[in-house]
């Protein structure tokens, strides 16, 4: 497959114009139903802090970022922006979304946590939209929430401390684990013996 947008067949002279013109749907588009030709890479990047860049310049209009986010998809090879007529690759440094607000209803095993992303999508954390914790570069934990498809949101560090405050210890297969409940599911952070190292 040719990853060079200049030589890829069917590549548009201005991919952003085609993407914007094709997207008329409020909210996420049904990108899982679309399989247009791949038209190469464009110079678009989602930085670790959730900022979207085009040609090295931050995209300052939230509505435009939300538009592009609505046609974002994770293919096996790469992240792509996809419409019924074209598919272009972009770079994602960490997760495509950033979790910026958490709301809590209830407490303990009955609590429900809802996450707002930087593109104004709300997600109820549950078995359908799970929470996972991965090792961070500095030895801590980085929490992620599945937003849709294979698209995850990195939860901001300040919100991680809320998750810890709302967490509890549970016996999992004979080992005491620390984690947090939401939507009837328990999401494990770490063994209790290690939790001080991550907070």
Domain edges within the chain: 15-92, 97-198
C-beta neighbour count of 121 within 10 angstroms: 19
DSSP string, 147-179: EETTEEEEEPHHHHHHHHHT-EEEEETTEEEEE
- The answer to whether the 15-92 and 97-198 domains have the same CATH topology is no
For residue 18, pLDDT over 70 is answered with no
The overall pTM is greater than 0.85: no
pLDDT of res. 10: 37
What's the rounded mean pLDDT across residues 39-50?
Answer: 95
CA 114 to chain centre: 14
User: Terminal CA-to-CA distance of the chain, rounded, Å?
Assistant: 44
CATH class of the domain defined by 15-92: alpha beta
What is the third-level CATH fold of 97-198? duf1285 protein fold (2.30.270)
Looking at residue 142, its pLDDT comes to 94
Q: Where are the alpha helices (DSSP H) in the chain?
A: 15-22, 62-69, 157-165, 195-198
Phi then psi for 86, rounded to 5 degrees?
-155, 160
pLDDT of residue 32: 87
pLDDT at position 55 over 90? yes
pLDDT in tens, 165-193: 999 999 988 889 999 999 999 999 988 87
DSSP code for 93: S
Q: What is the pLDDT of residue 21?
A: 52
With bands split at pLDDT 50, 70 and 90, how would you rate the model's confidence at 85?
very high
Q: What was the pLDDT predicted at 6? A: 38
């Amino acid at each position: 497959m040719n990853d060079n947008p200049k030589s890829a067949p069917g590549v548009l002279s201005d991919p952003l114009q085609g993407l914007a013109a094709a997207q008329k749907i409020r909210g996420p588009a049904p990108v899982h139903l679309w399989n247009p030709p791949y038209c190469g890479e464009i110079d678009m990047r989602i930085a670790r802090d959730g900022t979207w860049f085009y040609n090295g310049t931050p995209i300052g209009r939230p509505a435009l970022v939300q538009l592009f986010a609505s046609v974002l998809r994770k293919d096996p090879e790469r992240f792509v922006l996809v419409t019924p007529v074209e598919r272009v690759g972009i770079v994602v440094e960490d997760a495509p979304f950033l979790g910026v607000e958490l709301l809590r209803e209830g407490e303990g095993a009955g609590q429900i946590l809802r996450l707002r992303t930087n593109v104004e999508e709300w997600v109820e954390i549950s078995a359908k939209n799970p929470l996972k914790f991965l090792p961070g570069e500095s030895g801590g934990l980085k929490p992620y929430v599945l937003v849709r498809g294979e698209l995850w949101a990195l939860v901001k560090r300040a919100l991680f401390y809320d998750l810890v405050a709302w967490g509890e210890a549970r016996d999992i297969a004979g080992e005491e684990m620390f984690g947090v409940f939401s939507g009837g599911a328990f999401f494990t952070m770490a063994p209790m013996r290690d939790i001080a190292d991550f907070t």
